Structure 1
Amino acid sequence: MIQDRMKKIQDIQHSVEMRKRNTEEEKSHSVEVFTALIRSIERCQTEVVEMLEQKQKAAEKQAEDLIKELEQEITELKRRNSELEQISHTEDHLHLLQIDPSLYSPINSKNWTEISINTHVSMDTLNRALTRLKDTLHQKLGQTVLRRMQQYAVDVTLDPDTANPYLILSADGKQVRCGDIRQKLPNKPERFDTCVRVLGKKGFSSGRFYFEVQVKGKTDWYLGVVRESINRKGSITPNPVNGFWTVCLRNGNEYKACEDPLVSLCVRVKPQKVGVFVDYEEGLVSFYDVESSSHIYSFTGQSFTQTLFPYFNPCLNNKGKNSTPLIITPVSYN
């Protein structure tokens, strides 16, 4: 009993140290995030000021040109007025008009009553700047968060002992696709016998981990993590109750989170590479579009008690339409 209690004290002290280290990391991460956001706001402010100054200069130039044109017309009108004054004091009007025919020709002038300088500053400039700022902040925040996740990258290799007999794995264990012929493989307890699924070799029972998978060119796929005890035989619906934390693409454009019931996902662009992040202690599984650094979906508030394994389902090849493999790619830090 004494040894058990001393061991418990060590565990508590270790947990406190881990919490302290994680807190320092999160503080550093927060500073990085807000520093990036402040810089983006400052750049946007500079752009707005520059745009307003440019518009002011354009208005001043317009006013200068209009005033110059008005002065030219005034000069011409004065000239005619002076000459007409001379005509009014002579009897030979016809002779003077023959000398200067412009006196009775119309002046090529604008309708000045319809011309003015806009004194109002358009809110469109500010609105456009705020929209760009919102997009920039969203992008910067996404990039910063993704870089944070990528720090926990792990080397994932497919486990051939779990692969459904229809699946074809690359020699390096980094690619998987569905073939047309069922291979003759030993029916091991860990092998999926019905659904075209395969797991990663290494499981994780604590901490954080992250990996990326190329899904480019596919019309259907499932990705995520599963608990070790999931049923490998027969068909089973992927959802958290059954030990699956996954998202999927179906029919080329239908993105779903495999909750119960399914949750439809709205993605701006079709992801070409998906990042999967897990925080075991926090009960978090998140998915990211790597290229756009945008968040796809998160399972939150989960309670993990078993080892979790990376999960891959390339789906049926659909007569060659979905023959492109899922590819586990090295993490390239953005």
Structure 2
Amino acid sequence: MGQLGKFACVLGSSLLSIGSLICLIIVAIGCTNPKQAKDLYMFRIELKNLTTSPSSILDTTLQDLTGSYVKQFVQALQEANQSETLHDFYSIGLWNYCAGNNPHIGVYNTTYCSKPRGGFWFNPIEIWDLNQTQIEKHVPNRLQQTLDIYQRASLWMQILYLLAICTSIVQLLVGLLACCSRLGGCFAWLLTAVSLLFTLAASITSTTLFATLAGTFKLTFKSYGIYGHMGRHLYAATWLAVALSLLAAVSWLLNCCCFRGDKARREPPRTMGPVGAADSAYSYRPVAVGKRSDVSDHAPLLMCPSPPRVHGGQDYRPYQQQRQQYHNPYQNIYLEAHEMR
């Protein structure tokens, strides 16, 4: 029953770790080709309803009071849109971005995906071909601050996801030793805990980063028909990876603490070592002569046979004659001196 329970615990922990690894891989390869970019993206910017005039008088008043360069920035976008250099939407992933057309509501046809690369971040000035319009000086302050944070954090976000994937793979390989030894289960639990930390840090970083970017687009460009929102499928995958990794860490911890190794289960406890057994043979114990002793001990007592009997009822003494032949020569002298007295 113990071996069966241990096998079930190791199998369940491995399945949870595999599920977490699959979710991390989905996050890593999402938005890398047109088919996946439809639903798997971290952030999407929609420019189909772009307009240069605010949608309400209140938005116009707020833009005038803030004194930002939002209107100049939107006018530059409108010029780029008229020259057919802009797409209807842009989907941002971990390593690249994809773009396409939006003919109907809810229909996104991806026509282009950039090449995945490390250290990628979505630079709207470069991607939207606004660097030729000298628009860098008219980027809204709120948007510029958010883009600076996004640029600095994007590389660390990619590193955290890579470390989470690598530690998950190593943990699965080490988990194969958990069926053979208790030490293997402890190492698997340690690697699962490290993978959990990396996965949690990467998920928090990506969620916080793109939630801030979505809030910036909503406050700055909503009145001009520019919308930005997060991808729910990809964030569901990354937080599901966190949950599965947490359950796997708890399961490996139970396996490490509640199940003993096979060697400790097979070997019975030793009551006496080899040194103690050797010492007991030379200990001071009573020796029974002719019958068994009543003294109880772990080691058997030495049984000595009774001396044989000779005719006449006398005890057998094999060296009695030798003692008579080689008697003391001074014995007669002692007797004669005693008689003279």
Q: Fold conserved (TM > 0.5)? A: no
Which of 1 and 2 has higher RCO (CA within 8 Å, sep 6+)? 2
Larger Rg: 2
* TM-score band, normalised by shorter chain: under 0.3
TM-score, length-normalised on structure 1?
0.21
TM-score, length-normalised on structure 2?
0.21
More strand by share: 1
More helix by share: 2
